[in-house]
Amino acid sequence: MIATGVVVEYNPFHNGHLYHIKQSKKHTDADVMIAVMSGHFLQRGEPAFIDKWTRTKIALANGADLVIELPYSYATAQASDFAKGGVLLLEALQCDFLSFGSEQGEITPFLDTYKLLEDHNHELQQNVKQLVQSGLSYPQALNTAYQRLIPNNQLTYADLTKPNNILGYHYVEAVQKYHTNVKPITIQRVQAGYHDAIQNGTTIASATGIRQAIQEHHSLQNVSSFLPKATFHALTEWYDEHHHFASWELFWPFLRFSILRLSPKEIASYAEVTEGIEFLIIQAAKECPDFNGFMQKVKSKRYTWTRIQRMLTHIFTNFTWQQLKSSDLPNYIRLLGMTQNGQQYLSERKKLFTLPVISRAASSNDPMLLQDIHATDLYMLALGKNKIGMDYKIPPIRI
């Protein structure tokens, strides 16, 4: 069986994701599609729009055969660690291919870019350091330093100003750095940019645009054309039950209370909180009754919106620098769901996997798994649900 993996958030799963999964399957002639998916907190430092089990069901209904949880410490990390977690899990799962979406659409520029940056790594790091000191954000500095390295008119290098290309670059980097057997391929993204708003008359929109449209109109009607049926039905059911979707706006009373309960020294102990920003975070939380106002006060040239949201995620879930530093390689494969085809793959290949498969949360005390379980509890509480220990109660979804 040929196995092809994707590393995803599916927040929520839309027609672009469906296109990517279909194309990936076709290009790699895959017998089984494996999705390594983030849990309740995402790479942009946000709570997931809907819970991970609902997102698993939708993914299984749309072409994924196995859904594996990307542990919190990778799922909420900067791109390089996010990619590292995803790639190492796909490697442990004996995947043949890793397929990612990119603006670039071809794999060669990524491989060339990786070689260029590896060969000039020292020079690059020096330049990045200097540019950060001169006031650029880290992503801005990295991109500027990178541009300086590219030989004139060499268009075959990847355009690392594009969000999906950046992530793609880090997949390629992780594949090479950890000497995996997974072969990276890329599928060109169609139509919508990563952050673009939805456009009528089209069928593909970004997840960000879809979420925004739902939140603005308090309705799913405007977005139905961008979603597979399974997503539309699951979102409709969710909204009927919960009357809102998860967001920092919704979670703000709990996040704000948590921030204001803590001392500046404690805030500084959370992962990604650096350079005295704890004082600004506390001051802004004092002043702002809404999340957006808070973010406007805290963001700056130095810190991207995403970086600040990641700090907030770690404050919210009580995840410290110490915990981040003690996270290194994944130790297990957490199964969230499977199709019959996925189950057959597991039966055939499980003995070759280099990490144990965890189907029951209670069977492990791995700190990474405990952090995911903890994050689920806080996510549910902030959602206003009296649902604690769901990770122990919900077995892998089967369809």
Residue 226: DSSP 8-state: G
CB 72 within 8 A of CB 319: yes
Instruction: Single out the residue of 100, 147, 151 nearest to residue 127, CA to CA.
Output: 147
Residue 383: its H or E element: none
Residue 244 binds to a second copy (criterion: CB under 8 A): no
Q: How far apart are CB 232 and a second copy at their closest, in Å?
A: 31
Least distance in Å: CB of 75 to a second copy? 19
Note whether 138 and 146 are within 8 A (CB): no
Is residue 295 at the binding interface for a second copy, with CB under 8 A as the rule? no
d(CA 242, CA 220): 14
Within the chain, strands assigned E span 3-8, 32-38, 66-70, 97-102, 183-188, 333-338, 357-358, 397-398
Q: Which is nearer to a second copy, 68 or 315 (CB)?
A: 315
Within 13 A of 53's CA, how many CA atoms are on the CB side? 13
- Write down the least CB distance from residue 358 to a second copy, Å: 21
If one asks whether residue 119 binds a second copy (CB under 8 A), the answer comes out as no
Provide the pairing of β-strand 183-188 with 397-398.
unpaired
Query: Residue 248: which of 28, 20, 47 has the closest Cα?
Result: 47
What is the closest distance, in whole angstroms, from the C-beta atom of residue 43 to a second copy in the complex? 22
386 binds a second copy (CB under 8 A): yes
Choose which of 61, 185, 295, 381 interacts with a second copy (CB under 8 A). 381
262 binds a second copy (CB under 8 A): yes
Under the binding rule (CB under 8 A), the answer on residue 395 touching a second copy is no
Q: Which of 231, 258, 306, 339 binds a second copy (CB under 8 A)?
A: 258
Cβ 48 vs Cβ 38: under 8 Å? yes
Closer residue to a second copy, CB minimum distance, 146 or 294: 294
Binder of a second copy out of 25, 256, 307, 334 (CB under 8 A):
256
- β-pairing, 397-398 with 333-338? parallel
Cα separation, 65 vs 33, in Å, equals: 5
- Tell me which of 2, 260, 329, 362 binds a second copy, using CB under 8 A: 260
Q: Are 246 and 9 in contact (CB under 8 A)?
A: no
**Window contacting a second copy (CB under 8 A); options: 61-69, 76-84, 185-193, 316-324:** 316-324
| Selected range binding a second copy among 8-16, 146-154, 173-181, 255-263, rule: CB under 8 A | 255-263
Provide the 10 A C-beta neighbour count for residue 270: 25
Does 254 engage in binding with a second copy (CB under 8 A)?
A: yes
Q: Which one of 179, 243, 261, 301 is in contact with a second copy (CB under 8 A)?
A: 261
Q: Binding segment for a second copy among 66-74, 94-102, 180-188, 378-386 (CB under 8 A)?
A: 378-386
For residue 330, the minimal CB distance to a second copy (Å) is 22
Interatomic CA distance for residues 238 and 12, integer angstroms: 12
Distance between CA 214 and CA 207 in Å, rounded? Answer: 11
Choose, by CB under 8 A, the member of 137, 191, 269, 318 that binds a second copy.
318
- 276 touches a second copy (CB under 8 A): no
Contacts with a second copy, residue ranges (CB under 8 A): 253-254, 256-258, 260-263, 266, 286-287, 289, 316-318, 377-378, 381-382, 384, 386, 388-389
